[in-house]
A and B are shown apart, each in its own frame.
Chain A
């Protein structure tokens, strides 16, 4: 079937029940989206479907027909995604970095929907994303910095 990833139409041949995560990683070689749990418990596989955050590990290929998929490889093309990536670098957020693709995707979705998130808003939007290295304080600070930068541009 044909799917739309990061503004590009791509033909995919995979079983209909194959989660988007494995379509991206194994079939398309887009390994930026990470496997962490397979049960939507950790957020490492977060992508956007029509701009909304979704867990790629529990989203079967059959459920994404007609939807626009954005991944970590493409999120920098959005203002929120770029601001989040810049803030992540400015504050040296990552440690091992493995969960950060998912964190960035969740943070970008948050900022797109909420230009000035409170701490509680950040908790609500980011609590589905586990970081075992414990980068949470910097994630929180980076989201606020990105929000500030985005707000300044408006």
Chain B
């Protein structure tokens, strides 16, 4: 991303530096794409491989509870297995009945008191973590994000930074000495959703007419996946989530790029004209143009994202074209209508979107 911006703005002015910048750009681009390739290759959202403070707290509590329940299982399973083996009737079918025991006060008291104690221990451990996660107060360096759930995509706004994007959330890595966690306000534009990126935090729902809140405090960079976890309609399954935890420099660069209005490219002028005279502008926003719809994702920096349709397809020219031509072929039941453009117009509009870096 940064390399493309350098390309665009500096090359016309500093021809001598071009080779240098190109070399730098090439290296960073190569590094970036191999990192991206590694990350998008197989990210497993394992709830026990956490990288963020609230998720870590949950992970510790989970292991504690698992240990206790594991012990209970081992003991009771062994007793059951022993009884089933030892007391199985083998041999002749005599009519003798075993001793008829009706109960035992001491034994029954013991197996009441011990479970009560175990439950108390688990309860206090649980109460502590509930409080530490839910009642956390944002420190001064916290990033504030507002997430709005839609059928079937995610809107992300950074009010203090003036950034609006969709589906792929960028946050800075947080340093324990100087924490910069991200606090996300959760709203919904239509029905219930749930924000779940297992390695970063437990899930919290997005419910219309209600303001919820979640925070993440990642201490490792990387890309982490999740998806909507509350059934929200036909394409609930493809309302995917990506969270990019950037280094502070990467995050700052990303923010400053996102704040710019849409890039203007002469070669894409034809496509832009079609876009602006079609229904596209009713749903989509492109900063600096007349398109200011709110129903669909913000497209100002569409090409800064790795996927389209909330993760349903990689962000390539073919997929973009296919998505505009027939969204149901990628995400059947999504609320984007097929735009019924002829082939030439489709090519132009795709080229225009590809210019929105």
The answer to whether A and B come from one shared complex is: no
Interface residues of B, Cβ cutoff 8 Å to A? none
Show the binding face of A for B, using Cβ within 8 Å: none
